[in-house]
Amino acid sequence: MNTKGKILVNTEQFKAGDALFAPLERAGYEVEVNETFRLPSEDELIEKLQDNVVATIAGGEPYTARVFEAAPSLSIVARWGVGYDKVDTQAATRHGIPVAMAFGANHESVAEFAHAMALSLACRIGPRDRMVKSGEWSFDGFHPGLWGRTAGIVGLGRIGGAMARRCVASRMRTMVFDPWATDAQLESLGVERAETLEGLFAEADLISIHAPSTPQTRHMVNAERLALVKPTAILVNTSRGPLIDEAALVDALREKRIGGVGLDVFETEPLPAASALRGFDNVLLSPHVSGMDRMAEKLVTERCVSNILDHFAGQPEKIRPYVVNPEVLKG
């Protein structure tokens, strides 16, 4: 096939022939979709990149320095999502490869999922569903609920802001910890600033994590801060697994020092079969899918496709707002 090159769709959720990728084919590119329903390993990715691959629509596969060094034709990585902790951006920059994100396309989806997890835990929907399906029918105590309580949101990016709007709409007093948030942002959302993480953890009935994964944020939810939370508090994390010290969290759960936990992300993914997190009735677990509703499927994919086409059309200004290493762009 005589094309302008191959574009790999490495995410796990698509099938060959998906109409969302038709614009790439119409533009003259061959599209190869990963239909294994798992992400390629580093070695598998390197092997795939040898075949005149000019772009990838990336999932959570590792883009290491070794990968970029072994990618002779790769011109752009379009990340399906907003996190790029699996991408060595310095290596990408050395090779002149922009890493383009889908900012602004799925933040409402992630916030909705986080809010749904929080509501499910606060209303004990899971245990009550299992009770009735098992043939039981009884009053099992008052559930804590969320409305009128205090929400603590860590990180006020797009997702944190969308979560804040949901909490405010639930008539929750809403605190935000984010050193980079402006007073104007806080005022526009009707939320208040938490001066310290410790203060937020001590006061909040719901703690929702929406921070990026960096060396500075690793284990920001640790034994010391978990010791401050109310025994009825709910903790939700839909951002990145390394933000929580899972061993400390398991200890808090075993000692009944926290009311409920909702996790869509983990320190190790997939979650190991032996993880103690699987054994608690007040823990909701999800396989890193919070941003994958039908609306996001369309909007995020369209953003990735547009970033690739604009890049090859020589229009760097169109993709600049989405590129995390804009120094590689011309103009």
Which residues are the active-site residues?
240, 269, 288
**9 Cβ partners below 8 Å, 6+ apart?**
21, 31, 32, 33, 34, 56, 57
- Two tokens at 254? 């075993």
Closest CA to 194 of 209, 210, 181, 176: 176
Alpha-carbon Rg for the chain in angstroms: 21
How far from 70 is each of 63, 86, 200, 262, CA to CA, in Å? 11, 17, 46, 39
State the Cα–Cα distance between residues 64 and 90, nearest whole angstrom.
10
Residues in the chain: 331
3-state secondary structure of 173: strand
State the Cα–Cα distance between residues 91 and 58, nearest whole angstrom.
16
State the Cα–Cα distance between residues 97 and 148, nearest whole angstrom.
48
What phi, psi does 159 have (nearest 5°)? -70, -45
Closest CA to 92 of 324, 304, 316: 324
Closest CA to 56 of 65, 38, 46: 46
State the Cα–Cα distance between residues 31 and 164, nearest whole angstrom.
39
State the Cα–Cα distance between residues 75 and 305, nearest whole angstrom.
14
State the Cα–Cα distance between residues 123 and 21, nearest whole angstrom.
41
**6 Cβ partners below 8 Å, 6+ apart?**
29, 30, 31, 32, 51, 52, 53, 54
